[in-house]
């Protein structure tokens, strides 16, 4: 058959040997642009010389499903076709591409940076060869004819290679990276060795190249036209992710020259620790897929820069290129901006897991060649990047055979790479034995296990030799803190372990970006939105940034948790600890500010003396001004000068400390007597807008019934039900106990149980409130109710005690008491209320400005904030609980002021609407504003993939008391 290559184990035919990615000054022609295109439903396409004059046009590079040909499909683990390697379905969308171009030269190289997944190439009707390995380059030698040439490329969605490309992402196809025609190079390949000896401060430079007579120039090092091979040992400034010093270099041979950049650094695993330039490094990392909401895995340079700049601005210092080598330009940018890179090979066979790993290519000798081919193409392409410090064999491809002498293609990849490039340690997570790699790597291990690993006290392997080897290795979490939806919670507990244990060298959050496609109907589309037969829903949207790269609260939290400077503030002094691995703090400026109830009353700058990595300095603070209200001192570290990734003044780290606690204002609620309250409430009622229908009776804290209404301070109640109707003139409805939140992805997906399933089973989303009694005692309106779900005998008893304060307020003390069996944490405990739709802006004093939850609260600081109701929402791709601001001392919304210490959530839809919504476009503002005032909420955790909420952040159903004061905001 014409298409036999689709089921071949071998990775390609007719290709040139893999080599480094670089641009020379030789002639080149970009073939990016509009190509002729036709999509067929099967691989048995038309002859290659078909008349294509009537075909459509398609941009190259692009992914055809995003240009209106077919639709994207998302699966995480499952192959979307039967598992019968090397066979693929007859329904195999096949794109024929044609490009006519004028020959720029006679002989050259045709280079494809990435074609998903298998393609064959013809030039002027003659077959050049075929290739697989979607995220790897393929090159073919070409002889051009003078004038017009016709290039034909046939791309198949499925091939045997698809079994090796089961990464958790959208299935998308086409020529999705650049295509270039290069004049046959003189310098075909080169390998830069640029080591750094931290003891002497010298770099050693040697450039291996097959080009005869090649010379090297590095003007800054005084090297000019010297033989490339070297080696040259001379004083240099080293490269690191923190100080990415690069030297411009030029390699010349046969009249051709190649410009490239050199970073001197030495990576080594020594004493069980990964060291760069002699120092232990800590990875504050993220896993980055290539994704754009319009173009899929086709990225332009601006998008790559946007990713890197955002990472740098959020204190991220490392990237794992999950799970394939990125566009080569990305690595040049990592060299330039400074990021540690784990370059991961384009390999994942996770779909064999659901069939018990039967037939896994990792343990099958027939697949050895494509495994080695992939590793070689990555290592050869990317070997000259200073930023690439670790090679990763791939992701979730099981293990090779564990039988003596059995096939282990992963080990074979490792052996090849170690031989070819002994300068970089190797990584692979999928084989916990870690027998052929240089670090022990895990994903989603819980804090307790990571702690044990950090102490080198992990559970032993059966094989003592392997165990000893592994126990001696450094440890990384190649994935942790699953950033799906609202979360991740519990980041700081991991960070503490990374600081505590030398062996724990950090981790890489899963993952950088939500892979949601722009969609007319859904806003952002995820798995299932294109009618896929099998899909994994919104599991594809689990990033620290939304699909449009807006940082999510998770990224803001991560930035704070991983800050490279710790600022510990006390009222008298500030201690600054440098947590960088290489640089001192001279690039930062430190300032302090004192805020009394959120208003700045004093500020200044701090002179922090030279403080090297790992060192600390304690500085006295000037005498702070006297204040009357709650007062906080904040110390900030910001960039002193602009960097390529952020302007001067960009904040890197901060610390905050309370220097004065709140005191009760004279006459405030606490000590007020009933009589005083009554006067105050009468005065408020008299001056407020609500005096019309209710009259408070002087001398008691309660008003008399007027038309079935009852006044308590500024509150007006339904006398029969005890329900508040108005407070300080603001209409309020439905003020009652609330236990429900729209489950987060982490609530919904836990292992082995999902807390949200328990909540629904218990009916927390459909609670009924039965009034037990309304009692009017002197000074108090007491309303008791029993809150329970249909078909359940467990309940929460709620007692609301309403009273007037001495200064015009309405105090509420809510006590709750669980009845029956509650063996699970509850979503929230607090009050909900419905306010008029006219509420537009919320001002508060408390934690902010972004949302925060008990286990994701490091980034929140005490201050005075104002935000519109719309801006208080966090637009998670899959709607869920969001927008909670904890630690609020007071909030003002639409004429109503609430005081106490509470969590605040304000939205234009109910929790039930949020729960029912599947896409952001399902959320339609109602004619009301819904407010939650929480005593507490359940933590977030990362159970959507990994450990759930740590016990200390659980919200158990226990007796509780919650006090609030309401008053008119005017």
Q: Which residues are designated catalytic? A: 396, 479
510 makes contact with ligand GAL (CB under 6 A): yes
Cβ atoms of 443 and 428 closer than 8 Å: no
Specify the DSSP class assigned to residue 162: G
| Residue 267 vs 341, nearer CB to ligand GAL | 341
Q: What are phi and psi of 848, to 5 degrees?
A: 180, -165
Cα 542 to Cα 639: distance, rounded to the nearest angstrom: 30
Q: What are phi and psi of 381, to 5 degrees?
A: -65, -40
| Residue 323 vs 801, nearer CB to ligand GAL | 323
Q: Name residues whose C-beta falls within 8 Å of residue 425's C-beta, 6 or more positions apart in sequence.
A: 267, 268, 269, 274, 389, 390, 391, 437, 438, 439
Smallest separation (angstroms) from ligand GAL to the CB of 540: 8
Cα 711 to Cα 733: distance, rounded to the nearest angstrom: 15
Q: Which runs of E-coded beta strand occur in 544-607?
A: 565-569, 573-578, 588-596, 599-606
| Residue 76 vs 803, nearer CB to ligand GAL | 76
Q: How many residues form the binding site for ligand GAL (CB under 6 A)? A: 12
Concatenating the DSSP letter of every residue in 759-774 gives HHHTTTTSEEEEEEEE
Using the rule CB under 6 A, which residue among 395, 541, 577, 856 binds ligand GAL? 395
- Tokens (6 digits) for 908: 């234009």
Smallest separation (angstroms) from ligand GAL to the CB of 878: 14
What residues from 163 to 182 belong to the interface with ligand GAL (CB under 6 A)?
Answer: 168
| Residue 485 vs 564, nearer CB to ligand GAL | 485
| Residue 581 vs 747, nearer CB to ligand GAL | 747
344 makes contact with ligand GAL (CB under 6 A): no
542 makes contact with ligand GAL (CB under 6 A): yes
Smallest separation (angstroms) from ligand GAL to the CB of 392: 11
76 makes contact with ligand GAL (CB under 6 A): yes
Smallest separation (angstroms) from ligand GAL to the CB of 533: 20
945 makes contact with ligand GAL (CB under 6 A): yes
CA 47, 51, 55, 58 torsion-angle sign: positive
Radius of gyration of the chain (CA): 32
Cα 424 to Cα 911: distance, rounded to the nearest angstrom: 51
| Residue 478 vs 891, nearer CB to ligand GAL | 478
Q: Name residues whose C-beta falls within 8 Å of residue 260's C-beta, 6 or more positions apart in sequence.
A: 22, 192, 249, 250, 251, 384
Cα 531 to Cα 346: distance, rounded to the nearest angstrom: 27
Smallest separation (angstroms) from ligand GAL to the CB of 238: 32
Smallest separation (angstroms) from ligand GAL to the CB of 80: 15
Place of tokens 């306010």: 835
By rule CB under 6 A, what string of x and - marks binding of each residue 295-324 to ligand GAL?
A: ----------------------------x-
Residue nearest to ligand GAL (CB): 168
CA 310, 312, 313, 316 torsion-angle sign: positive
Smallest separation (angstroms) from ligand GAL to the CB of 943: 12
Smallest separation (angstroms) from ligand GAL to the CB of 510: 5
479 makes contact with ligand GAL (CB under 6 A): yes
| Residue 634 vs 944, nearer CB to ligand GAL | 944
Cα 315 to Cα 360: distance, rounded to the nearest angstrom: 39
| Residue 112 vs 510, nearer CB to ligand GAL | 510
Smallest separation (angstroms) from ligand GAL to the CB of 945: 4
Cα 750 to Cα 605: distance, rounded to the nearest angstrom: 47
- Nearest in space to 377 (alpha carbons), one of 28, 134, 127: 134
The residue count of the chain comes to 970
| Residue 178 vs 344, nearer CB to ligand GAL | 344
Specify the DSSP class assigned to residue 808: S
User: Which helix or strand (DSSP H or E) is residue 709 part of?
Assistant: strand 709-712
The bridge status of strand 475-480 relative to strand 504-509 is parallel
Smallest separation (angstroms) from ligand GAL to the CB of 526: 12
Smallest separation (angstroms) from ligand GAL to the CB of 396: 5
What residues from 646 to 665 belong to the interface with ligand GAL (CB under 6 A)?
Answer: none
396 makes contact with ligand GAL (CB under 6 A): yes
Burial class (CB in 10 A: 0-12, 13-18, 19+), 619: middle
What residues from 209 to 268 belong to the interface with ligand GAL (CB under 6 A)?
Answer: none
| Residue 169 vs 755, nearer CB to ligand GAL | 169
User: Which helix or strand (DSSP H or E) is residue 554 part of?
Assistant: helix 553-561
Cα 537 to Cα 526: distance, rounded to the nearest angstrom: 6
Concatenating the DSSP letter of every residue in 34-90 gives EEEEEEEEES----TT---TT-EEEEES--GGGGTSS--EEESSS-SS---TT---S
Edge-to-edge, what's the strand order for the sheet holding 107-112?
Answer: 28-30, 179-183, 107-112, 138-143
Cα 294 to Cα 144: distance, rounded to the nearest angstrom: 35
Vertex 933: Cα angle to 931 and 934 (nearest 5): 135
| Residue 96 vs 429, nearer CB to ligand GAL | 429
What residues from 350 to 379 belong to the interface with ligand GAL (CB under 6 A)?
Answer: none
| Residue 58 vs 945, nearer CB to ligand GAL | 945
Cα 715 to Cα 724: distance, rounded to the nearest angstrom: 7
The bridge status of strand 340-344 relative to strand 388-392 is parallel
Smallest separation (angstroms) from ligand GAL to the CB of 877: 14
Q: Which runs of E-coded beta strand occur in 115-270?
A: 115-116, 118-123, 126-131, 138-143, 148-156, 169-171, 174-175, 179-183, 190-197, 202-209, 215-218, 223-227, 232-235, 247-253, 256-262, 267-270
| Residue 893 vs 945, nearer CB to ligand GAL | 945
Q: Name residues whose C-beta falls within 8 Å of residue 24's C-beta, 6 or more positions apart in sequence.
A: 182, 185, 186, 187, 256, 257, 258
Smallest separation (angstroms) from ligand GAL to the CB of 322: 6
By rule CB under 6 A, what string of x and - marks binding of each residue 413-452 to ligand GAL?
A: ------------------------------x---------
Cα 127 to Cα 141: distance, rounded to the nearest angstrom: 11
Cα 274 to Cα 233: distance, rounded to the nearest angstrom: 24
Residue ranges that bind ligand GAL, judged by CB under 6 A: 76, 168, 323, 395-396, 443, 479, 482, 510, 539, 542, 945
């Amino acid at each position: 058959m014409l298409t036999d290559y689709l089921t071949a184990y071998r990775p390609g035919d007719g290709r040139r040997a893999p080599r480094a990615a670089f641009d020379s000054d030789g002639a080149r022609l970009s073939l990016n642009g509009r190509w002729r295109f036709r999509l067929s439903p099967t691989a048995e396409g038309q002859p290659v010389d078909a008349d294509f004059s009537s075909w459509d046009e398609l941009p190259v590079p692009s992914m055809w499903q995003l240009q209106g040909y077919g639709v994207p499909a998302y699966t995480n683990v499952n192959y979307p076709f039967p598992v019968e390697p090397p066979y693929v379905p007859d329904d195999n969308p096949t794109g024929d591409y044609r490009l006519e171009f004028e020959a720029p030269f006679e002989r050259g190289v045709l280079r494809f940076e990435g074609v998903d997944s298998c393609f064959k190439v013809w030039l002027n009707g003659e077959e050049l060869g075929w290739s697989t390995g979607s995220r790897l380059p393929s090159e073919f030698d070409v002889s051009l004819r003078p004038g017009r040439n016709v290039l034909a490329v046939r791309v198949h969605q499925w091939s045997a290679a698809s079994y090796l490309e089961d990464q958790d992402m959208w299935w998308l196809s086409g020529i999705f990276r650049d295509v270039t025609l290069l004049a046959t190079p003189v310098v075909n390949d080169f390998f830069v060795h640029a080591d750094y000896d931290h003891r002497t401060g010298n770099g050693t430079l040697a450039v291996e190249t097959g080009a005869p007579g090649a010379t090297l120039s590095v003007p800054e090092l005084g090297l000019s036209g010297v033989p490339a091979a070297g080696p040259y040992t001379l004083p240099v400034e080293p490269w690191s992710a923190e100080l990415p010093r690069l030297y411009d270099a030029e390699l010349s041979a046969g009249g051709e020259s190649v410009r490239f950049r050199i970073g001197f650094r030495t990576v080594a695993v020594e004493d069980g620790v990964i060291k760069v330039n002699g120092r232990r490094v800590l990875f504050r990392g993220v896993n980055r897929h290539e994704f754009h909401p319009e173009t899929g895995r086709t990225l332009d340079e601006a998008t790559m820069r946007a990713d890197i700049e955002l990472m740098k601005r959020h204190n991220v210092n490392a990237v794992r290129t999950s799970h394939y080598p990125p566009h080569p330009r990305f690595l040049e940018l990592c060299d330039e901006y400074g990021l540690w890179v784990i370059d991961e090979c384009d390999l994942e066979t996770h779909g064999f897991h659901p069939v018990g790993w039967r037939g896994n290519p990792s343990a099958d000798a027939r697949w050895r060649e494509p495994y080695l081919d992939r590793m070689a193409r990555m290592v050869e392409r990317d070997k000259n990047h200073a930023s690439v410090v670790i090679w990763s064999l791939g992701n979730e491809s099981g293990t090779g055979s564990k039988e003596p002498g059995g096939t282990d293609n992963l080990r074979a990849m490792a052996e090849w790479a170690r031989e070819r490039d002994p300068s970089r340690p190797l990584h692979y997570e999928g084989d916990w034995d870690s027998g052929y790699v240089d670090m022990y790597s895990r994903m989603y291990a819980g804090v307790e296990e990571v702690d044990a690993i950090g102490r080198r006290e992990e559970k032993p392997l059966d094989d003592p030799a392997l165990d000893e080897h592994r126990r001696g290795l450094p440890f990384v979490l190649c994935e942790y803190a699953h950033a799906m939806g609202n979360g991740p919670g519990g980041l700081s507990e991991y960070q503490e372990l990374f600081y505590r244990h030398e062996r724990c060298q950090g981790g890489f959050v899963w993952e950088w970006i939500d892979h949601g496609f722009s969609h007319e109907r859904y806003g952002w589309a995820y798995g299932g939105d294109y009618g896929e037969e099998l899909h994994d829903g919104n599991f594809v949207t689990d990033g620290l940034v939304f699909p449009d790269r807006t940082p999510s609260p998770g990224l803001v939290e991560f930035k704070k948790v991983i800050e490279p400077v710790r600022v510990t503030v006390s009222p008298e002094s500030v201690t600054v600890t440098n947590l960088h691995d290489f640089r001192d703090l001279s690039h930062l400026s430190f300032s302090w500010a004192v805020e009394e109830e959120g208003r700045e009353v004093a500020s200044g700058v701090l002179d922090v003396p030279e403080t090297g990595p790992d060192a600390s300095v304690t500085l006295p603070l000037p005498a702070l001004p006297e204040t009357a209200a709650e007062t906080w001192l904040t110390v900030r570290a910001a960039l002193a000068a602009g960097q390529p990734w952020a302007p001067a003044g960009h904040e890197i780290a901060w610390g905050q400390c309370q220097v004065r606690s709140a005191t009760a204002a004279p006459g405030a609620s606490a000590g007020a007597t009933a009589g005083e309250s009554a006067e105050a409430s009468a005065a408020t009622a008299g001056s407020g807008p609500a005096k019309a229908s209710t009259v408070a009776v002087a001398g008691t804290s309660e008003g008399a019934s007027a038309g079935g209404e009852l006044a308590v301070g500024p509150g007006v109640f339904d006398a029969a039900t005890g329900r508040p109707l108005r407070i300080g003139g603001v209409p309020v409805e439905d003020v009652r106990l609330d236990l429900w939140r729209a489950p987060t992805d982490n609530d919904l997906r836990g292992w082995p149980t999902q807390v949200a399933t328990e909540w629904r089973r218990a009916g927390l989303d459909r609670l009924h409130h039965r009034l037990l009694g309304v009692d009017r005692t002197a000074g108090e309106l007491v309303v008791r109710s029993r809150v329970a779900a249909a078909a359940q005998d467990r309940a929460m008893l709620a007692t609301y005690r309403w009273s007037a304060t001495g200064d015009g307020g309405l105090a509420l003390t809510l006590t709750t008491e669980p009845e029956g069996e509650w063996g699970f944490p509850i979503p929230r405990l607090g009050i909900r209320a419905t306010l008029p739709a006219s509420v537009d802006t919320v001002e508060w004093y408390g934690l902010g400005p972004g949302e925060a939850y008990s286990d994701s609260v490091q980034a929140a600081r005490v201050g005075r904030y104002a935000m519109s109701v719309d801006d208080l929402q966090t637009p998670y791709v899959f709607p869920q609980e969001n927008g909670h601001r904890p630690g609020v001392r007071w909030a003002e919304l639409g004429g109503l002021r609430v005081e106490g210490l509470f969590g605040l959530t304000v939205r234009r839809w109910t929790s039930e609407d949020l729960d029912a919504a599947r896409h952001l476009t399902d959320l339609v503002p109602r004619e009301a504003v819904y407010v939650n005032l929480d005593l507490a909420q359940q933590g977030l955790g990362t159970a959507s993939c990994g450990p759930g909420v740590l016990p200390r952040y659980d919200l158990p159903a226990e007796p509780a008391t919650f006090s609030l004061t309401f008053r008119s905001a005017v």
